[in-house]
Structure 1
Amino acid sequence: METPEMRLFAIADPHGNYSRIEELLDIAGDIDVVLIAGDITNFGPDEKALELFSLFDQPILAVPGNCDHDSIIKVIEDSRAINLHNRSFVMDDVLFLGLGGSNPTPFCTPFEIQECEYEENISMLLGRSTGNEKRIVTLTHAPPFGVLDEVGGMHVGCRALNMFLDRADLMVCGHIHEARGIKKYGKTTIVNPGMAALGFAAVIGLDTENKEHNINVKLIEAIR
């Protein structure tokens, strides 16, 4: 009997450069859902996102990054993609929760959010998952503090996002270009697929029925 698996194609940080997406899709093979973990553009224009969305036939769930303007949210909502920023969305037996932007950086980028606001929003999202029997996937731009968040020997992730750890089955994030990888924290698998502008992505197999089954993650790379 085949395992009921949802195959996710995860990218982060394309920064307006979508030149390697089609090659990554060829490498990925059959996929069911596209996850876009922010920095869709490189400080705009917002409409650039539509070029990226046009490359996919599958359902798209997206959040903005700190290098996007918050006005991109309306562009996402008016497109065929699903805006997951500060939202929840159910597909099959999976509950998706999303938050875009990032915690404050030294660079004063367009879409930065204070930790206290993140905490309020995460509490609201987790409240929606109370009593949930579905698998939980979170899509954020920033990583949780201490996990795939190291720059120059310092941890720069969002502390509030640690509220998802050991509660979500899967966390997909980006933001820290140097921190591509896969980590496990309790029951949570955290994935930074790498910078899509450089030809990096991840393919994730998620059993939609059995929470005890492993989540299979493969980091892929387009080489030209």
Structure 2
Amino acid sequence: MRLLVVSDVHDRVSIYQRVASFLKNEIDATVVAGDLTYFKPFEHAVKILKAMRESSGKPVYFVAGNCDSPKLLAWEGENDIINLHRRFILLGSHYIYGIGGGNISPFNTLIEWSEDEFKSMLPTVDNKVCEKLVMITHTPIHQFFDEVNGYNIGSTSFREFLLKCVPLAWVTGHIHEHSGVLKYGRTTIIHPGPLMKGYYGLLELGDSEVVAEVRRLV
């Protein structure tokens, strides 16, 4: 299972279309880790998701970002556009689970959660599930791709879950200053970087390991 992973689209669907045009025969699906829009209405976000589905010809899995309409959180999706927020989805032999929105910020963006709210949305730790689990969150994990101006602003609840569950992989977004892949224990953490600046990632899921990389359009 090979996934195209993107985050922070911020309306630049044309950049996604360029990426999909030369990768569509190499991927099985796209995962979007939030911020499809920049404070645009729900209908605009759906239009972007449909354009992504049409241009790739493959399913699109997504979570909303802090700059997206809160209505996206409850939208059921349609025609191979799958909302991951607080949902377990079976993807081949793997489980995929998502949490949309951002953490509390000074900017009062559209979807923000406290750490207690994040904790309440995390799944129950199940070792058999964790071995095959891919987490998709817009907000980064505390101390992983989350430093801004010398401060680590990622979720401490996500870090606690990472240590207890040790999922196979974790995709995050939100912080435009970061892009990369790192390994923490058995967990591969990938922040593809902002698609609006040409960044994207590839995540290949194996039975017990993954291969991930980030790229940028030139």
* 1:159 pairs with one of 150, 156, 161: 156
* Partner residue, 2:198: 199
The residue aligned with 2:177 is 178
Tell me which amino acid in the other structure corresponds to 2:153. V
Distance of 1:79 and 1:50 partners within structure 2: 12
Structure 1 position 162, deviation (Å) = 0.9
Give the alignment's Cα RMSD to 1 decimal. 1.8
Tell me the residue number matched to 2:85.
85
Check if 1:37 corresponds to 2:33. Answer: yes
**Aligned: 1:216 with 2:214:** no
| Alpha-carbon shift at residue 61 of structure 1 (Å) | 1.1
Alignment of 1:189 onto 2:188: yes
Q: How far did 1:177 drift? A: 0.4
**Equivalences for residues 124-143 of structure 1 within 5 A:** 125-127=123-125, 129-132=126-129, 135-143=132-140
Q: Distance in 1 between matches of 2:66 and 2:17?
A: 25
CA contact (8 A) 1:148 1:183 kept: no
Gaps spanning 5+ residues in structure 1: where? 1-5
Residue of 2, 22, 26 corresponding to 2:21: 26
The structure that is helix-richer by fraction is 2
Deviation at 1:155, TM superposition (A): 0.4
- Confirm whether residue 101 of structure 1 aligns to residue 98 of structure 2: no
TM superposition score normalised by structure 1: 0.87
Change (3 A) 1:75 1:47: farther
Question: Any unmatched runs of 5+ in structure 2?
Answer: none
SS at match of 2:19: helix
TM-score by length of 2: 0.90
1:9 to 4, 15, 18: 4
Number of paired residues? 211
Question: 1:26: how far off?
Answer: 3.4
- Counterpart amino acid of residue 63 in structure 1: V
Tell me how far apart the structure 1 counterparts of residues 121 and 15 of structure 2 sit (CA, whole Å): 33
Determine which of 36, 43, 47 is the counterpart of 1:47: 43
Say if 1:12 and 1:39, in contact at 8 Å, map to a contact too: yes
Amino acid in the other structure paired with 1:206: L
Q: Distance in 2 between matches of 1:135 and 1:73?
A: 24
Q: Structure 1: how far apart are the matches of 2:140 and 2:170?
A: 9
CA separation of 1:76/1:18 partners in 2, compared to 1, >3 Å: closer, same or farther?
farther
Amino acid at match of 1:95: Y
How far apart, CA to CA, are the structure 2 residues paired with 1:76 and 1:220?
31
Q: Name the amino acid aligned to 2:114.
A: Q
- Sequence identity (%): 31
Is the partner of 1:109 in helix, strand or coil? coil
Q: Distance in 2 between matches of 1:72 and 1:79?
A: 16
- The amino acid that maps onto 1:60 is V
